[in-house]
């Protein structure tokens, strides 16, 4: 009996251990964390980028009557500027000679829309003529421009100079002999073919891009869009979780010189119409750096997200909290906010006021906007 | 439950009847119960543990033996964030995302051979021990959707104290440090390598401490030690 006592003790100890270690409940493996998230996708919008056409005169050099060598330019999708002004230039193909257009007849057409009694939109155009101007600042999503000028309106162009390039620059001050670095729109006679009607390209013309190895030369171009159409398709998502809204998107062109990307949220009224636009800031590189990409037009503030060749922003992000946005800081955060927009905006326009150049847009789901 | 109480009573009676003694050239068996607590970076919650040591006393001071430790606990949920996504963001209405921490039950068996250096006295015998072995970690197949197991080398070092209740019986309290080598805490994450891990709100969730390739576990156990009579050439 004595010899088996230790075995009994051992068995008892094991029994005790097992009894203590075992439990009839199963461990809970999932634990919800905080608020739900709601996501939606950013889609490329119908373009409202800067665009237009340029109709060149028949004669490449001056004809017998240069005053009849008319140049007709149409423009749309321009930001309204708070500093600087849109200025037109004539140039030769190699962009070695520039001549500023000092007189032009500007016709501005403003289209306002309202809803009639049947709920259908009605459009009311208002035309304003401004003859003999040398530059202008107006812009907006509902403004279009027709510029009528002629070869002899640019006094600096010699009669033997070829007029093959029409360039729109933004001049921050008194123009010099050549356009300033912000040269967002241009058209070449050669791009118009036999019609001489060239679609304007939007981007950065020539040496406006910082000079570096492989960068475009004086007569080269960084084309963001041709006649308003981008050849790149950005993509991304908007996610809302409680007070936090995050945009993560990718595959954008670098902003043309003088432009930057920003984002806005659009608040609806109770009938679903635009009520307010809320600025949610300049775009940044993604987490964890979140470096501002405001200067990505001329430098590379975040090499991990911004490429120099090709000129592409590989990834962008925005993160905001309603704590810093009183208009969205309701009991249900982001209540009535229905749209999120990624815009390209001129640095010469008023920051925080939404311009016409929406590149991407997301419709926030009802789960977020609350109706 | 009544069986447990009877066992307790029998243990107490048996222990009281015996006298303390350290016996060389004899085997001893120690059943242990305790807790295992991993360092924070291992992402393992404290776990209950049972163990069984068998030891052969080479001399009065030295012994060698084997140990089996079985523990069962949970992974640290808050270190593993995942999301459940409903709906499709590409269609009207977007999607809804539930953010969840995910844990799972973890069963570990640590097998080792060890040596002990003991300083016997009349009542108390303090000792130090060190060993090497292998740990086998078995994860929850339901949570992982498959059988998931990990095994690799482990090292053990510890100190303890044996209090002699009788010639062949005593209680033992010890603390051991068990190091799991080639540790990869990602094995504890059922969603590892899947897009469910990606969150657009990285600032809003706590970041677990930096991972390490070893996991140090502190093991504290209370044991009953026996020296079976007649085994190993003893009396």
| A83-87, A276-280, A309-313, A357-361: range with lowest mean pLDDT | A309-313
Q: How far does A21 lie from chain B, in Å, by closest CA?
A: 6
pLDDT band at B179 (very low <50, low <70, confident <90, very high): very high
Average pLDDT over residues B11-24: 45
Task: Supply A170's token pair.
Answer: 């933004």
Task: Supply A365's token pair.
Answer: 């789901």
Q: What is the pLDDT of residue B15?
A: 40
Task: Between B20 and A97, name the one with better pLDDT.
Answer: A97
Q: Are B110 and B135 in contact (CB under 8 A)?
A: yes
Average pLDDT over residues A83-99: 91
pLDDT at A84 over 50: yes
Average pLDDT over residues B177-182: 98
**Tens digits of per-residue pLDDT, B121-167?**
888 999 999 999 999 999 998 888 889 999 999 999 999 999 988 88
pLDDT at A106 over 50: yes
Q: How far does B97 lie from chain A, in Å, by closest CA?
A: 5
Q: What is the pLDDT of residue A55?
A: 96
Q: What is the pLDDT of residue B195?
A: 74
Q: Are B160 and B28 in contact (CB under 8 A)?
A: no
pLDDT band at B235 (very low <50, low <70, confident <90, very high): very low
Give the chain B residue whose CA is nearest to the CA of A371: B93
pLDDT band at B87 (very low <50, low <70, confident <90, very high): confident
pLDDT band at A367 (very low <50, low <70, confident <90, very high): confident
pLDDT at A145 over 70: yes
Inform me whether the C-beta atom of residue A16 falls under 8 Å from chain B C-beta atoms: yes
| A71-85, A110-124, A154-168, B19-33: range with lowest mean pLDDT | B19-33
Q: What is the pLDDT of residue A5?
A: 65
User: Do the Cβ atoms of A9 and B229 come within 8 Å?
Assistant: no
Q: What is the ipTM of this complex?
A: 0.71
Task: Between A207 and A123, name the one with better pLDDT.
Answer: A123
pLDDT band at B11 (very low <50, low <70, confident <90, very high): very low
pLDDT at A368 over 80: yes
Q: Are B69 and B49 in contact (CB under 8 A)?
A: yes
pLDDT at A33 over 60: yes
Average pLDDT over residues A43-63: 91
Q: Which range, A24-33, A227-236, B17-26, B80-89, is most confident?
A: A227-236
Query: Which position has the token pair 């899947």?
Result: B194
Query: Which position has the token pair 């209405």?
Result: B93
User: Do the Cβ atoms of A32 and B100 come within 8 Å?
Assistant: yes
Give the chain B residue whose CA is nearest to the CA of A18: B50
Find all residues with CB under 8 Å of A141, minimum gap 6, and list them: A48, A77, A355, A356
Q: Give the closest of B33, B94, B104 to A40, CB-based.
A: B94
Inform me whether the C-beta atom of residue A15 falls under 8 Å from chain B C-beta atoms: yes
Q: What is the pLDDT of residue A21?
A: 59
Report the 10 Å Cβ neighbour count for A177: 9
User: Do the Cβ atoms of B105 and A17 come within 8 Å?
Assistant: no
Interface of A with B in 180-239 (CB under 8 A): 237, 239
User: Do the Cβ atoms of A244 and B204 come within 8 Å?
Assistant: yes
Report the 10 Å Cβ neighbour count for A279: 16
Task: Between A18 and B56, name the one with better pLDDT.
Answer: B56
Find all residues with CB under 8 Å of B5, minimum gap 6, and list them: none
The C-alpha angle with vertex A11 and arms to A10 and A15, in degrees rounded to 5, equals 120
Q: What is the pLDDT of residue A148?
A: 97
Q: What is the pLDDT of residue A241?
A: 94
User: Do the Cβ atoms of B7 and A37 come within 8 Å?
Assistant: no
Task: Between A201 and A24, name the one with better pLDDT.
Answer: A201
The pLDDT mean for chain A works out to 89
Q: What is the pLDDT of residue B19?
A: 37
Q: What is the pLDDT of residue B150?
A: 94
User: Do the Cβ atoms of A9 and B10 come within 8 Å?
Assistant: yes
Q: What is the pLDDT of residue A96?
A: 81
Q: What is the pLDDT of residue A82?
A: 96
pLDDT at B12 over 50: no
Q: How far does B196 lie from chain A, in Å, by closest CA?
A: 13
**Tens digits of per-residue pLDDT, A202-243?**
998 875 455 555 555 555 788 899 988 888 999 999 999 999
Q: What is the pLDDT of residue B25?
A: 83
pLDDT at A12 over 80: no
pLDDT at A168 over 60: yes
B114 exposed, middle or buried (CB, 10 Å; 0-12, 13-18, 19+)? buried
The pLDDT mean for chain B works out to 86
Backbone angles phi, psi at A350, to 5 degrees: -80, 120
Task: Supply A129's token pair.
Answer: 């003529």
Q: What is the pLDDT of residue B232?
A: 41
pTM for the whole structure: 0.81
As a whole number of Å, the end-to-end CA separation of chain B is 36
As a whole number of Å, the end-to-end CA separation of chain A is 82
| A340-344, B9-13, B63-67, B219-223: range with lowest mean pLDDT | B9-13
Q: What is the pLDDT of residue A26?
A: 58
Q: Give the closest of A16, A37, A367 to B8, CB-based.
A: A16
Q: What is the pLDDT of residue A295?
A: 95
Continuous segment of H or E residues that includes residue B15: helix B2-17
Q: Which of A29, A235, A237 to mutate to test the interface with B (most CBs of B within 10 A)?
A: A29
The C-alpha angle with vertex B165 and arms to B163 and B170, in degrees rounded to 5, equals 55
pLDDT at B5 over 90: no
């Amino acid at each position: 009996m004595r010899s088996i006592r230790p075995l009994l003790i051992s068995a008892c100890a094991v029994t005790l251990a097992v009894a203590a270690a075992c439990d009839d409940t199963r461990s809970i493996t999932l634990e919800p964390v905080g608020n739900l998230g709601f996501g939606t996708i950013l889609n490329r919008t119908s373009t409202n980028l800067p665009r237009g056409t340029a109709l060149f005169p028949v004669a490449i050099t001056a004809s017998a009557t240069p005053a009849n060598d008319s140049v007709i330019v149409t423009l749309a999708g321009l930001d309204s500027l708070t500093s600087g002004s849109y200025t037109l230039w004539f140039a030769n193909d190699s962009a070695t000679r520039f001549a500023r257009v000092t007189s032009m007849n500007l016709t501005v057409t403003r289209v306002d829309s309202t809803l009639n009694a049947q709920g259908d939109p009605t459009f009311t155009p208002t035309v304003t003529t401004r003859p003999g101007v040398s530059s202008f600042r107006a812009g907006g999503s509902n403004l279009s421009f027709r510029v009528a000028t002629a070869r002899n309106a640019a006094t600096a162009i010699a009669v033997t100079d070829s007029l093959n390039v029409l360039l729109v620059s933004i001049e921050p001050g008194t123009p010099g002999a050549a356009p300033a670095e912000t040269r967002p729109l241009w058209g070449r006679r050669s791009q118009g073919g036999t019609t001489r009607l060239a679609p304007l390209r939007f981007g950065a013309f020539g040496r406006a891009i910082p000079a570096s190895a492989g960068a475009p030369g004086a007569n080269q171009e960084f084309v963001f869009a041709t006649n308003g159409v981008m050849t790149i398709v950005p993509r991304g998502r908007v996610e809302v979780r409680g007070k936090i809204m995050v945009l993560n998107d990718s595959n954008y062109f670098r902003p043309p010189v003088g432009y930057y990307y920003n984002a806005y949220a659009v608040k609806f009224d109770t009938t679903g119409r635009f009520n307010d636009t809320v600025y949610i800031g300049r775009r940044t590189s993604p987490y964890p750096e979140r470096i501002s990409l405001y200067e990505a037009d001329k430098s590379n503030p975040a090499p991990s997200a911004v490429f120099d060749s090709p000129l592409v922003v590989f990834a962008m992000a925005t993160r905001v909290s309603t704590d810093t946005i009183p208009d969205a800081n309701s009991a249900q955060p982001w209540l009535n906010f229905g749209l999120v927009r990624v815009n390209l905006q001129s640095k010469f326009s008023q920051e925080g006021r939404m311009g016409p150049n929406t590149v991407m847009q997301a419709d926030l789901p009802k789960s977020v906007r609350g109706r | 439950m009544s069986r447990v109480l009877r066992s307790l009573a029998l243990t107490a009676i048996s222990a009281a009847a015996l006298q303390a003694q350290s016996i060389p050239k004899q085997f001893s068996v120690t059943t242990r119960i305790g807790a295992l607590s991993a360092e924070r970076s291992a992402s393992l919650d404290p776990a209950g543990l049972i163990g069984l040591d068998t030891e052969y006393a080479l001399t009065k001071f030295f012994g060698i033996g084997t140990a089996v430790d079985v523990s069962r606990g949970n992974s640290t949920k808050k270190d593993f964030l995942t999301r459940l996504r409903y709906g499709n963001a590409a269609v009207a209405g977007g999607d809804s995302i539930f953010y969840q921490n995910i844990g799972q039950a973890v069963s570990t068996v640590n097998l080792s051979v060890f040596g002990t250096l003991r300083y016997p006295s009349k009542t108390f015998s303090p000792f130090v021990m060190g060993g090497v072995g292998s740990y086998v970690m078995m994860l929850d197949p339901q949570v992982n959707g498959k059988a998931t197991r990990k095994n690799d080398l482990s090292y053990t070092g510890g100190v303890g104290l044996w209090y002699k209740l009788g010639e062949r019986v005593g209680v033992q309290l010890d603390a051991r440090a068990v190091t799991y080598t080639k540790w990869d805490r990602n094995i504890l994450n059922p969603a590892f390598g899947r897009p469910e891990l990606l969150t657009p709100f990285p600032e809003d969730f706590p970041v677990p401490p930096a991972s390490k390739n070893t996991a140090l576990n502190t093991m504290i156990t209370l044991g009953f030690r026996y020296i079976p009579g007649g085994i190993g050439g003893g009396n």
